Amino acid sequence: METVAPLQEIIDVIKASGGDAFKFCYQCGLCDTVCPWNRVRSFSMRRIIREATFGLTDIETEEMWRCTTCGNCPRQCPRGVKIIEAGVSLRRISTEYGVFPAPVSPVKGVAASLLGKGNPLGEDRDKRAGWAEGLGVKPYSEEMELLYFPGCYLCYDPRLKKVARATASILQKAGVSFGILGDQENCCGESIRKTGDEELFKRLARENIKRFVSGGVRRILVSSPHCYHTFKNEYGEFMVNFEVVHIAPYLSELLASGRLELRGEYGKKVTYHDPCYLGRHNGVYEEPRSVLRQVAGLELEEMADRFEDSLCCGGGGGRIWMETVKGERFSDLRLAQALGVGAEVLATSCPYCITHFEESRIALEDSASIEIKDITEIVADAL
């Protein structure tokens, strides 16, 4: 096994990178019993922690990059080990040394694109508002109710642009005054931070904050639970405080206040997948279900792994940019669960989940047997 440095030196680096919490681990292995990786292959966070404690971290294999930061194991840990933060601290070391094993190597290109273009997809900045073409969406100005921040995937990905368009049509129907930053919007930085690139995260965050402050932004509406998480829980580190709302609770708010009325029907059997960063990390479980229940004709069916026990799609922690071999994709398991409850539609509220579920759907023998939808697409169909 190749290690970055012997014993004390690496222990000190781990400590300096925020991984000191490892020392509380008493190797009970409960984290491994709930980790989704152990449904598809053998993986041990407990072992990674043990090795790090002795300064024996192997940075040349994929192991320490597997954690999707799904949030399932920290809630089980009897010693309160900050497992996610500790794992990210190891990646910081790898990033510092510039060592990325083959399946992780796309992260290098992603970082370059984020630095140069403000998005991980290598797309041009001036095309960032292309999703809104023909919709009459305005640039944000101070007197508006909210800033809509679609995030990188909804701005550029052809499948996910439909979600941004559905969101805009709902807001317009509800009479919400909103605007966008267009080419002034940057990636929120959540996922690159989880790959250990703290410096790039800070740079992206500072640029976004500068634009929010100079634009007089008070309330930000987001579509991605990853943007939601970092704006709400991490941008505070920069001594700023914006009101952040995710589209799922916001739809619930619009329906409750009567600003949004659903007149149409959606006569399909739907099951809802809780995204890790909306559910486990931020406690939003009820609102998306409440929105779906208000759609006439929609039958909501629950899967076995739901609410805080939801099964990760595999896209968090920067894994969205890494290759996961066939047979090891959590999203394949999730699709099988959705089909198992007879769902015609697997609904969720996260661009990473949709990306992974669409990939799994296409690989199905009968890919027409199920549709993948964001809840905004269902609501837009029922307007």
Shortest distance (Å) from residue 84 CB to ligand SF4: 5
Residue 155 binds ligand SF4 (CB under 6 A): no
- Give, as ranges, the residues between 230 and 259 that touch ligand SF4 (CB under 6 A): none
Shortest distance (Å) from residue 73 CB to ligand SF4: 3
Residue 49 binds ligand SF4 (CB under 6 A): yes
With CB under 6 A as the contact rule, the residue among 11, 13, 14, 81 that binds ligand SF4 is 81
Shortest distance (Å) from residue 287 CB to ligand SF4: 23
Which of residues 29 and 264 has its CB atom nearest to ligand SF4 in the complex? 29
Which of residues 25 and 353 has its CB atom nearest to ligand SF4 in the complex? 25
Shortest distance (Å) from residue 194 CB to ligand SF4: 10
Mask: binding to ligand SF4, 19-48, rule CB under 6 A, as x and -? ------xxxxxxx--xxxx-------xx--
Shortest distance (Å) from residue 325 CB to ligand SF4: 16
Q: What is the total count of residues that contact ligand SF4 (CB under 6 A)? A: 28
C-alpha 54/C-alpha 36 separation (Å) is 26
Mask: binding to ligand SF4, 53-72, rule CB under 6 A, as x and -? --------------xxxxxx
Residue 322 binds ligand SF4 (CB under 6 A): no
Which of residues 84 and 220 has its CB atom nearest to ligand SF4 in the complex? 84
Q: Which residues contact ligand SF4 by CB under 6 A? A: 25-31, 34-37, 45-46, 49, 67-73, 76-79, 81, 83-84
